[in-house]
Structure 1
Amino acid sequence: MKIKSNADRAWDIVFVIICLIVSAMCVIPMLNLLAKSLSATDFLVRNEVYIIPKGFNFDAYATVLKDSKYIRAFVWTVFLTVVCTILSLTMTTLCAYPLIFENLRGRGFINVFITITMFFNAGTIPNYLLMQKLGLLSNPLVLIIPGVMSVYNMIIMRSFFYGIPDSLRESAEIDGASFFKILVLIYLPLSKPVMATLALFYAVGRWNGYSDALMYMRDDKFYTLQLLLYNIINNINQVEVATQEGFSAPGLAESLKAAIVMFSTVPILCIYPFLQKYFIHGVTLGAVKE
């Protein structure tokens, strides 16, 4: 067993301190929001709530759960996240898999053409006009189709596929396996780490997304939870809007805002522990192998 030198121990201590500081920077804001969401309005008005709740109560969460617009937005966002994640993984796989075959005609051009889209974009106004011409404005499909695939994620998956030995595919081809059978029976079972990683990327991206709904969606029935939260925070200082949103006092407004943030953050955080064992493995392998 190797004995660490004093220099190594010192670096270990520095590294631990840095990790603790970074962890505290991530955790403390969440604890502050949780404390505000569980505190009485009197303490919030006087700015006396930091990390520990004061005047402990669940009034803000009760208000959220009793309001149909929050529940509707939550259910719609969950449905949208699940559908978009499944479709995105499907499209990413179907795009990445053919590009690993060297005998694919136009393979180099396709790779360059797809990569260019990572750096050049038409812009907000042309995209809006395109959605308008396609008749997708205020259509739920506008929240699914435009962002159905990420080129960056496709490159990660393609790189991961490159790391799978060609001999496995060649042996399956000798046995008469078809193009899609090889994908389903060989590549996908071996790609659980990268699939879980990209599923997390897509799910978090869709769950946190609100700009597309803000630009393209006019029907409040299809407002995502993040867009609803954006509207509340954006208008929280306007008394008449606050009253329409169910706020009766500044303290309650602050408490309810914190409760909605927690309401919209905790579900996606709960997914990570189930994918953690695949996450680092999938990112490192998919990112460095080519």
Structure 2
Amino acid sequence: MSEVKSRSSKIFQAVVGTIFVIITLITLTPILRVVSMSLSSKSAILSGKVWVVPVQLTLEAYQRSFGNINFVNSFLYSIILTAAYTGICMLMTIMAAYPLSKGDLKGRKIIMTLFVLTMYFDPGTIPNYLNVKSFGFIDTVWALIIPGALSAYNLIIMRSFFIGIDKSLYESAYIDGCTEFKALVKIAIPLAVPAIATLSLFYAVSRWNGISDVLYYINSSGLYTVQMMLKQMIDTVKISLQEGTNTQLVADNIKAASIVISMTPMMIAYPFIQRYFTKGIMLGAVKG
């Protein structure tokens, strides 16, 4: 009987493993194709030889991208902006979630309901624009930070994580004369590292990939993020008539290189946060 179960278990694992391998290959194929196009020559792309392996390797697209000083500046600016945005967002999220996790906070349910309502009711683009304008944030870096500085969804996860911390730890700290702020810094935050890392990834990805707020609120090219700069590069690619018909594929090269460049920072950061990802989400969902 045990041999039958063992055999069926092996068959099941083999089938599941095969399915996951197929899904992984399907997921990676578009990414590999984009990378290959960014590294292939124009003639190879024109002849349809490029699939998932670069043909006639060239760095022309990357040279044209990084040869643009405005692009390099926007790339570095986006990294700094994303880091600052993530830090401010996590500070806001923690400072809001911690008191809301305390059962003795008066009006906790009402405050939490107000946060949750923002997830269901969006005022729309024009009211948001007028709101940002009334604060004087138009064409400033604050327009890219303050409006999205707190996510109700992330707040709920962070609050649930704090609620899941054993109350006896807080009681012991209070007996030793620890204030609420010290309890937050020395007990809650160290125990909440998985949740903090996970939510930091959420905030960082949303800021790095964000472009709509740049279109709405930013007029100065010096405040353009890398996503906006890449969009402009693709939209304004001009083809020289002297290069013939093949030059029409320069735009495809730059598009592919732009995609690779834009996703590289998040791909570098994700492996360092991945070990916290599942743990942070699951522990934050234990209690509501």
Following superposition, the deviation at residue 6 of structure 1 comes to 4.2
Distance 2:275 2:63 in 1: 35
1:183 matched to 2:184? The reply is yes
**1:260 corresponds to:** 258
**2:202 corresponds to:** 201
1:226-285 Cα shifts (integer Å, max 9, x gaps):
12223344x3xxxxx32299xx72122211221111111111111111112111111111
**1:60 corresponds to:** 61
**1:76 counterpart SS class:** helix
**1:171 corresponds to:** 172
**2:119 counterpart SS class:** coil
- Alignment-mate amino acid for residue 209 of structure 1: G
Distance 2:159 2:25 in 1: 36
Following superposition, the deviation at residue 215 of structure 1 comes to 1.3
Q: Using a 3 Å threshold, how does the CA distance of structure 1 residues 7 and 104 change in structure 2: closer, same or farther?
A: same
1:24 matched to 2:25? The reply is yes
1:278 matched to 2:279? The reply is no
Distance 1:288 1:26 in 2: 31
Deviates further, 12-21 or 181-190: 12-21
**1:288 counterpart SS class:** coil
Deviates further, 215-224 or 13-22: 13-22
1:72 matched to 2:73? The reply is yes
Q: Using a 3 Å threshold, how does the CA distance of structure 1 residues 25 and 288 change in structure 2: closer, same or farther?
A: farther
Q: Using a 3 Å threshold, how does the CA distance of structure 1 residues 244 and 217 change in structure 2: closer, same or farther?
A: farther
Any residues of structure 2 matched to 1:142-161 within 5 Å, and which?
142-161=143-162
Distance 2:252 2:102 in 1: 56
| Conserved? CA contact 2:40–2:58, under 8 Å | yes
**1:50 corresponds to:** 51
Distance 2:69 2:181 in 1: 44
Following superposition, the deviation at residue 36 of structure 1 comes to 0.7
Following superposition, the deviation at residue 199 of structure 1 comes to 0.9
Deviates further, 224-233 or 93-102: 224-233
1:99 matched to 2:100? The reply is yes
**2:15 corresponds to:** 14
| Conserved? CA contact 1:208–1:226, under 8 Å | yes
Any residues of structure 2 matched to 1:117-136 within 5 Å, and which?
117-136=118-137
Q: Using a 3 Å threshold, how does the CA distance of structure 1 residues 216 and 244 change in structure 2: closer, same or farther?
A: farther
1:151-188 Cα shifts (integer Å, max 9, x gaps):
10110011011110001101111111111000001111
Distance 1:25 1:124 in 2: 36
Q: Using a 3 Å threshold, how does the CA distance of structure 1 residues 119 and 204 change in structure 2: closer, same or farther?
A: same
Distance 1:221 1:242 in 2: 20
% identical equivalent positions: 40
Following superposition, the deviation at residue 146 of structure 1 comes to 0.2
| Conserved? CA contact 1:45–1:250, under 8 Å | no
Distance 2:252 2:121 in 1: 40
**1:108 corresponds to:** 109
Matched residues, number: 281
Distance 1:129 1:48 in 2: 50
Following superposition, the deviation at residue 10 of structure 1 comes to 3.5
Any residues of structure 2 matched to 1:34-45 within 5 Å, and which?
34-45=35-46
Deviates further, 275-284 or 222-231: 222-231
Distance 1:279 1:260 in 2: 27
Distance 1:199 1:20 in 2: 29
- Alignment-mate amino acid for residue 198 of structure 1: L
Deviates further, 119-128 or 13-22: 13-22
Following superposition, the deviation at residue 135 of structure 1 comes to 1.8
| Runs of 4+ off more than 6 Å | none
TM-score, with structure 2 as normaliser: 0.92
Instruction: Identify unmatched segments of 5+ residues in structure 2.
Output: none
Instruction: Identify unmatched segments of 5+ residues in structure 1.
Output: 236-240
More helix by percentage: 2
TM-score, with structure 1 as normaliser: 0.92
Distance 2:278 2:265 in 1: 21
Distance 1:141 1:244 in 2: 37
